Amino acid sequence: MEKTNQASVRKEAPISKQAMSAGFILLVLGLAQIINAYDTTAMNVAVSRIVQDLHTTVTGVQAALTTYSLVMAAFMIIGSKLGDIWGWKRTFTLGIILYGIGALTTALSPDLGLMITGWSLLEGIGSALMIPAIFSMIAIFFPESKARVRGYAMIGMAAAAGAALGPLICGFLTTFVSWRASFAMEVLVVLIVVFLSRKLVVPKEEGARPRLDLLGAVLSALGLAFVVMGILQASVYGWLTARKAFLIGNTQLIPQGGISPVIVFVLIGLVILALFVLWQRQRVRAKKQPLIDLAIFKLRAASIGLPVIIVQMFMQAGLLFVVPLFLQIGLGFNAFQAGLTLLPLTIALILVATQVSKVMARFTPKLAVSAGLLFTSIGILVVGLTMSSSSTSISVMPGLIIVGIGLGLTTAPLLNLVQSSVPISEQGDISGLNRAFSNLGGALGTAVAGAVLIAALISGLSFGINQSAVLPAADKPTLEQAAEKDAQTVSDAELTAYLKTKDEPQPIENEMVRINAQARDKSLRDAVAAIGVLGLLGFLLSFFLPGRMLPDRKPRGST
């Protein structure tokens, strides 16, 4: 019978004396982190081109995006446990190879089905294997606190930079080459990482390896998938009341005006996760190895730090969802120009992240995290205040720079607090939880921003239609119903082209474009404001983080 303390008696052999500089280690792990984060934001700017090339629909491509997020969220904890079982380097290598196969499949895909197979499934599972391995190996390679902070700073910088550069690089490739070139580029990076990773020497652990808790794995995957799936439905159906009927195939499960499927999916997910917790406790009572050691949540650095990670990712994902939308639809920027506008955020983040270890030498992690979260939230609110029809790249730059400073200050100290709250033998558990909570935060950021945007857009359109002195009174009820049912963010040019097909009189056309522009810009500002205000919850939560740097967690058996 497998004992609960089995993992704790395993020891890591001392790290090899072979020359492995910190720069080389971070180069290998950072490149893998960059392409993963890049993929989460890059394809948002290429949806229309993919629709044309694969002869599919926007809904189909959005389903591929959603499935990618679901697969990553569902398998992240399982991936972390497999790292304990197979060894971190083997798991990392398998994950990056699977990711590369998925990227190649997507680049060559002739239709949406094969694209979903490559991008959503293979890349999603590959990410779930390699990302927890990256964070666990940072803790193993850099056991001393100062070096570990630098390691997490570089990995956090790679993640945020990859996400911010996604729209820029993919926008350039989509505009001037093809969206397929974006995935081909990822394949090239994967080949480089696989080649370089051969020189990574990860200490082998002695003793018996744990076994995978299959029922726990199924329950955790299903629970997380339902929660994330529910959250991602918010922008389409609304949070409480279904904005439109929820269908599976041709079968209506929830009528328009009924309970939102968001509530249904999230409740199902929470019930399954509650069963997962009960099963983990049962495993412990039976003296068997659980999938996740729930005792981790008794540690303040984890029980507070993990929710703070949700808020940090909530703000980052929400901002990177709304701002490119505003730049492209509100200001008429192309994908490349929108990505270029976000560059100051990336530069500020990189500059601060490279210096954060010096900050940590003088201040506590708690102070750095609190300051970073406050900067991030304030920066997002500043961005929101500068968003208008007269905005330029320069006008939104100050807010983006403040956000970059905030993310650069927050990421490394927060990761260090959470990851170093447990010994090396439990890095798999905390890495899986870390990334699962991060994915949840990202999904929440996109969903909340989208839901607020659509709700504000509907409200703004209805108000504008009712107050209009140009639109015929007899047409207003029909226009309001159309706005509530089919509201979506569209540019002035797109709406004008649509109205031309309806042969509307010029005054009516001009008035509808004016109302849409006014409602659209306000809804985008409201979405950014909601992200910034809700982000202050993370700042308040950070007050409860441990106030001191945790002791070094050296590998057992190291000298």
What integer pLDDT is reported at residue 147 of this predicted model?
82
| Confidence check: pLDDT of 103 > 90 | yes
Residue 509's Cβ-count burial label (10 Å; 0-12, 13-18, 19+) is: middle
pLDDT tens digits, residue range 378-412?
Answer: 999 999 999 887 888 889 999 999 999 999 899 88
CB 211 within 8 A of CB 81: no
DSSP bridge pairs for 248: 251
* Side-chain-side CA neighbours of residue 230 (13 Å): 20
| Confidence check: pLDDT of 20 > 80 | no
pLDDT tens digits, residue range 291-309?
Answer: 888 888 888 888 999 999 9
Cα distances from 71 to residues 221, 225, 424, in angstroms, run 9, 7, 27
Tokens of 264: 């249904």
Is residue 375 helix, strand or coil? helix
What integer pLDDT is reported at residue 59 of this predicted model?
64
Q: Which amino acid is at 15?
A: I
Is residue 79 helix, strand or coil? helix
Among the residue ranges 280-284, 400-404, 505-509, the one predicted with the least confidence is 505-509
Q: Which amino acid is at 16?
A: S
Q: Closest Cα partner for 24 from 146, 187, 137?
A: 137
Residue 218's Cβ-count burial label (10 Å; 0-12, 13-18, 19+) is: middle
Tokens of 282: 């049962």
Higher pLDDT residue, 25 or 354? 25
If you average pLDDT over residues 233-237, what whole number do you get?
80
What integer pLDDT is reported at residue 123 of this predicted model?
94
Among the residue ranges 102-106, 322-326, 422-426, the one predicted with the least confidence is 422-426
- Read off the DSSP letter of residue 241: B
Higher pLDDT residue, 332 or 101? 101
Among the residue ranges 107-111, 135-139, 342-346, 555-559, the one predicted with the least confidence is 555-559
What integer pLDDT is reported at residue 377 of this predicted model?
96
Q: How far apart are CA 517 and CA 502, in angstroms?
A: 19
Q: What percent of the chain has pLDDT over 90?
A: 30
pLDDT tens digits, residue range 213-225?
Answer: 999 999 999 998 8
Residue with tokens 């948002």: 44
DSSP bridge pairs for 206: 11
What integer pLDDT is reported at residue 228 of this predicted model?
84
| Confidence check: pLDDT of 22 > 90 | no
Q: How far apart are CA 141 and CA 14, in angstroms?
A: 10
What integer pLDDT is reported at residue 558 of this predicted model?
37
Q: Closest Cα partner for 185 from 88, 58, 46?
A: 46
Polymer length in residues for the chain: 559
Supply the pTM of this predicted model: 0.83
State the chain's mean pLDDT as an integer. 84
| Confidence check: pLDDT of 4 > 50 | no
What integer pLDDT is reported at residue 207 of this predicted model?
60
Ranges 368-377, 430-439, 472-481, 514-523, most confident: 368-377
Higher pLDDT residue, 397 or 152? 397
Q: How far apart are CA 508 and CA 476, in angstroms?
A: 12
Tokens of 536: 């202050």
Tokens of 408: 């650069």
| Confidence check: pLDDT of 484 > 80 | no
If you average pLDDT over residues 416-444, what whole number do you get?
82
Cα distances from 292 to residues 2, 289, 297, in angstroms, run 15, 8, 10
| Confidence check: pLDDT of 7 > 50 | no
- Read off the DSSP letter of residue 52: H
Residue 284's Cβ-count burial label (10 Å; 0-12, 13-18, 19+) is: middle
